[in-house]
Structure formats: C-alpha cells, structure tokens
Amino acid sequence: MSILANKDTYVVIQGGVAGVNAARRMAEFCYLIKRSLNVLAFVYPPDAGKTHEIPYGSGLVAVPIYKTVAEATKHHPQINTSLVYIGADRAMKGGMEALDDTHIKVVSMITEGVPEKDAKILGAHARKLGKVFNGPSSIGIVSAGSCRLGVIGGAFDNLVLSKLYREGSFGVITKSGGLSNEIIWICSQFADGITTAIGIGGDAYPGTDYVSYLEMFENDPQTKAVVIVGEMGGDLEERAAEWYGAKKRRVKLMAVVSGFCQESLPKGMKFGHAGAKEGLKGEGSARSKSDALKKSGAIVPATFGALGPAIKEAYQELLKSGQVKEPVEPASLPKLPKSIEAAMKADEVMVTPLIRTTISDDRGDEPCYDGYPASELINKGYEIPHVVGLLWDKRLISKQEAEIIKRIMMLSADHGPCVSGALGTIIAACAGIGLSQSVAAGLIMIGPRFGGAVTDAGRFFKHAVDNKMTVDEFLTYMKKNHGPVPGIGHRVKSLRNPDKRVKELVGYVKSLPIKTPCLDFALEVEKVTAVKKDNLILNVDGTMAAVLVDIGFPVDSLNGFFILSRTIGLIGHWVDQKRQDSRLIRLFDYLVNYAAPKRREVPPLK
C-alpha cells in the first residue's frame, strides 16, 4: 500500500510549460510500472481546446487541455488529484478552484514564492473540506510501484536505480525537494526502498505538516518506518516529535534536521529555504528540533551521512523480527526507448542521413563557413566576398579577388525601376505583398533574357579558351550549335554609347597583375561582333562572366553573382514603395495592344 497517491490516482495538471514537463516525467514512471498515463487533462485557458502530446514509451499520448478544472473533471470524472504549476500571483486562485471541485481530493502545489497568507488560506480551506493541500513549493509525491505526482524521482535511470518500480517499507517526508531523491535512493540502497515519499515544500507554513502525513503512514500497514528530512525554522519538527512521543506508534520514526551551522554564523545571517528562519528565542533551531525528536524516541543520526547506516540498522531489525521480507526483484523491467540522438551517441543505431552538406555547420556556438568560425573571419578582417568564396566555391579567396567581387556586386546592385526584375518587385510591393514574396517576384524574372546570361556566357567563353578556339571558330561554333553569343549585345548600349559599368570593370581587372584569358577572349569577340552590328558589344553579364571564370569560380555559380547583387536593389525597391505607401497599380489601357477578337456572341453549348 501507500498513502496519498496510488493506482487509482488520476490527475489534472493546472498550468503551462512546467506542467507539461512534469507530465512527461510522470509518463516515464507510468511506462516503467506498466500503467497507462495517469495525467488525463491539463487546465490552461490560453490553450484550451488543444492537446499536449506526451511521450509514452515510443509513442505519444494526446492529453486534452481545458479552460477550467470543472470542465476537466466533467469530461474525466476519474480525476481525483490536481497538480498546480501556476505562477505565484495566480496560484491561490487555481488552488481554490481545484479544492472546490468535488471530484478532487488532493491538491499539490509546485509553485514557489507563493505568499504565506495564500498558503495558509489554502491549507485551512482544504482542512475544512477534509481534503489534502500539499505544498506550495512541493517537488511532488511518489508512491513506489503505483503513482508519481510531479518530477520527484528524477530521470528514468534514477527511478530504476532507486527501485521505485516496486514497494518498499519506508515512508519519506521532506521539506527539501532536492533531497527527496537522495533519501529515496538511500532507502533503496540501505533498505528495501520506499512506500510513499512526499515533498511538503520548504516554505514556513506548508499546507499539510509532518503530523498529518505521519498519521496516514501509521495507518498504512506496508509502511514500517518513516524518515523525516527537516530544516530549522518553524515548529513542524517539534510537532512531529510531540506526535511520536504521545503514545506507542506502530511506525518507527527517523529524522535528520539541518541548520546546525547557524550556531557558528554571524548573528542574523540565515539561509536555505524560505521557512528556514529561526524564531525569536532559539525556538525552531536545528538543535531544539533534533533534541525534541530524540527525546520523543525517534532515531536521529548525528549527520546526514549517518542516515544510511541508521536506515540499514532499522531495516535489519525489521527483517529479523519478520515484519518485512526481502523484496523480490522483477525479472525484467521496461527500458525507456532512447531518442535517436542518444542511441546514436551510444553507437546503437546507424542512420542514413537525408542530406549531405559540405559548406557550413552551425551546431556549435556560432556558424562555421567551410570550417572557419564567422567571428574569427570578422576579427581577422575578412569581408562579405570572402564568405561568398567560402560558401560558393569552398575556398578562401585573395584580397584582390575579393575586391573584384565587391566591385561586381556594386556595379550590378540595381539598374533602375524599368527592368523586368525591379518592375516585378514594384508591382508586387504596390499590391501590398510582403518583402520576401515581392523580392522573389523580381528574382523569378532572372533568366535567359534578363540577367541570367552570366552562367552561359561564362560557360561558352571558357569552352572557347579551354579548346583554344579562334574568335572565328568560336562564332561559327556558336552559330551552328547555340545561336547568339550570351554576354554579347545590349538593348540600348552600343559602341558609340558604351556601358560605363563594363568599362569600369574591364579597366580595373586589366590593371591588376593577373592573367585574364577569358576576358581577353571576350574582348576579341566584341571587336568582331561590334563591327557587324553597333550594339553587339560585350555587355555587363559577359564581362562579369569572363572575369569570374578567370578568377576561378565554377561556371554554375556565376548567375548567383547577379542574383545576389540585384537582390540588394530589389529590396531597395520594395522598401522604397513601402515608404511611399504606394497604391495598387494597373496597366493603362493605352499601353496595351488589344489584338484579341472583337466582342461576339457565344454560340449555344453543344
């Protein structure tokens, strides 16, 4: 048997994230002892109507969320226990709501920092109704082999190590949440484990005190001894001593109390839990508590470390007197399925990756580009073109190459509102479309006729140079196999009205001490084509392409330089329209040549 929580305990959790985490822990325990999840509902008004998916074994259980406790118990009348994970400022209201629900018999409050007055009101209200209000600041309640309320017991491995899958003979009552697992563990190593362990919370006035729980343990035949982990402050330990000393008790009482260090600290210096405050005249000190407990006949080891051996001694006596038998351990226990990550770490599974990347990794504390941490690149003076080099061509380009890329980007960032890309973005912006979609509207214009000739220009110039073609051979080859030469020709610019961007870029690159076979070849091509027709000049796409091939960028990445640069302009156009609060535009009729058939009658449908 156990007290407070057992196989018939069904739970509603009031609160948000912390409550969901607790439910996960509770599901692990339910899985260990092979019972279905005992959390039937959540109450959290902002998410009412939805569900929380709680992992159970390798599956998921959907637990509904309600607006009120009454709704939860109406749909799940088996609910008899509530766990309160609501913030301190609203905890009392939530606790009252649970206490006032006729289905609910036990309310355990996990919230810390609840005003003392509120805790007292909740405690008094529960007593009046004959219910249990546990906490505030409770770590939870666990009955071995039957029920876990809250995160008490810790991780799954600890549940197994502490033998919480089956009953023992020791009850535990502790103010400290952090020490609850320690005591449970000690009981399982030095004796046969626990029946029920209760965290009553470290506040000055917990809703339910040691005595109430001692009475319950006294009436639970499975519990043979109770361990109390006390703290200085208040008088709960003294009251427990009084209870124990009042008459012969069936259960053995064992206790430790902390706070002896207080005696050798500067006056008035206190620490530990909220309740750990000494009374005015030495009452509530660790010594007065431990003396009272000893006087009542309880076993009080001198230190926390001596608690294990004391529990062992008590257990051996129980064994000898035949009151308890050595426990039988189950042949096997369910293993908690591992997450893929954990199983991979333990070399237990092999996974075929879905994608493969060779350029970047942000799993550490910052992104690495081709292995170089971004911050180190910044600190060592590298710039955006270097990042382009690393991510597009997996190499750290030189200062000179970076300067060329920078200039290319500056020259092609924008070309006014009339070109296809900008116009697409502007029309979208005027239609009230968002930034990324409007920019995408402009970007999809980039193709064979607008901006997208860089890659092809590069490919063919490179082909010519690699195959040592003469200009004539090249032009013949193009005419025969592909058509017009990409990168040659401009709609408005011509020999007499040259493109300044081309002049600028060619001038700069030629001034550098680098070899530029593609660019040289492209300029030779221009000499021939421009003679044939005035506007068949080397355009900016062709120039960029030749230069980029010359400095080693792969042909397939070349359009990227135009896309990247022009994105700057497209964003500019979107922001510009937005700033002006531009209105929806449509094409004027006079800009359309209506060449469709004149209006005519629709023939009858056949």
Partner 1 sequence: MAKVLEGPGMGLMKKWGINVPNYVVVTSVDELTKLGQANEWLKKSKLVAKAHEALGSRFKLGLVKIDLDFKAAEAATKEMIGRQVGSITVTQVIVSEMISHKEEYYCAVKSTREGSEILVANCGGIEVESNWERVKRLCLEIGQAPSADALEKLSKEAGFTGPLIKKMAEFAGKMFACFDSEDAQYLEVNPVVTRASDGELVALDAVTLLDGDAKFRHPDWNFAFAAEFGRAYSKQEEEVMAVDSKIKGSVKFIEIPGGDTAMLPAGGGASVYYSDAVVARGGKLANYAEYSGDPPDWAVEVLTEKVCSLPGIKNIIVGGAIANFTDVVKTFGGIINGFRKAKSEGKLKGVKIWVRRGGPREKEGLDAMRALKDEGFDISVFDRNTPLTDIVDKALQK
The residue ranges that bind partner 1 (CB under 8 A) are 21, 25, 88-89, 112-117, 120-121, 123-124, 139-140, 151-155, 158, 161, 174-182, 185-186, 202, 204-205, 209, 229, 231-232, 234-235, 256, 258-261, 263-274, 276-277, 286, 302-305, 308
Tokens read off for 258? 């902390």
Whole-number minimum distance, CB 305 to partner 1, in Å? 4
In the chain, what is the greatest distance between 2 CA atoms, to the nearest angstrom?
A: 119
Distances (CA, A) of 371 to 150, 193, 374, 375, 458: 44, 52, 9, 12, 29
Rounded Cα gap, residues 172 and 224, in angstroms: 11
Q: Using the 8-state DSSP alphabet, how is residue 260 labeled?
A: G
Lookup: tokens for 346: 């333990």
Q: Decide whether 113 or 221 has the Cβ nearer to partner 1.
A: 113
Which two three-digit tokens encode residue 155? 């991780």
Dihedral sign, Cα of residue 383, residue 385, residue 386, residue 388:
positive
Question: Min. distance of Cβ 262 from partner 1 in angstroms?
Answer: 9
**DSSP labels, 352-393:** --S---SSEE-SSSS-EETTEEHHHHHHTT--HHHHHHHHHH
Measured from the CB atom, the residue of 182 and 370 that comes closer to partner 1 is 182
Catalytic positions, please? 273
Number of H helices, E strands in the chain: 22, 16
- Retrieve residue 137's tokens: 């600041």
Q: How does DSSP classify residue 419?
A: S
Q: Which is nearer to partner 1, 86 or 229 (CB)?
A: 229
- For the sheet containing 11-15, what is the strand order? 51-56, 59-66, 39-43, 11-15, 81-85, 106-109, 132-134
Calpha distance 147→166 (Å, rounded): 11
Helix, coil or strand: residue 189: helix
Cβ nearer to partner 1, comparing 63 with 114: 114
Cβ neighbours, 10 Å, residue 196: 29
| Closest approach of partner 1 to the CB of residue 186, in Å | 8
Tell me the two tokens of residue 370.
């081709």
Cβ 240 to partner 1, closest distance in Å?
A: 13
Count CB neighbours of 528 within 10 A: 14
CB of 32 to partner 1, least distance (A): 16
C-alpha to C-alpha distance for 3 and 108, rounded to whole angstroms = 14
Residue whose CB is less far from partner 1, 231 or 499: 231
Phi/psi for 316 (5° steps) reads: -60, -40
List Cα–Cα distances, 462 to 395, 448, 454, 547, 551, in angstroms.
Answer: 20, 18, 12, 11, 12
Q: Which is nearer to partner 1, 4 or 200 (CB)?
A: 200
SS3 content of the chain, % helix, strand, coil (to 5): 45, 15, 45
Residue closer to partner 1, measured from CB, 269 or 595: 269
In angstroms, what is the minimal distance from the CB of 109 to partner 1? 13
Least Cβ distance, residue 270 to partner 1 (angstroms): 7
Residue 606 tokens, joined: 């056949």
Q: What's the closest the beta carbon of residue 107 comes to partner 1, in angstroms?
A: 17
Instruction: Identify the three-state secondary structure at position 21.
Output: helix
Residue 293 C-beta: closest distance to partner 1, Å: 15
Instruction: Please report, for residues 153, 347, 352, 483, the alpha-carbon distance to residue 488 in angstroms, rounded to integers and kept in the order given.
Output: 75, 58, 47, 12
Shortest distance (Å) from residue 234 CB to partner 1: 7
Strands (E), 1-91: 11-15, 39-43, 51-56, 59-66, 81-85
What's the gap between Cα 12 and its chain centre? 25
DSSP letter string, 100-130: TSTT--EEEE--SS--HHHHHHHHHHHHHHT
How near is the Cβ of 139 to partner 1 at its closest, in Å?
6
Taking the least distance from each CB to partner 1, the nearer of 133 and 461 is: 133
| Residue nearer to partner 1 on the CB measure, 104 or 184 | 184
The upper half-sphere exposure of residue 24, i.e. CA atoms within 13 Å in the direction of its Cβ, equals: 14
Is the Cβ of residue 134 or residue 559 nearer to partner 1 in the bound state? 134
C-beta closer to partner 1: residue 140 or 569: 140
Burial call 282-294: b when 16+ CB within 10 Å, e when fewer: eebbbebbbebbe
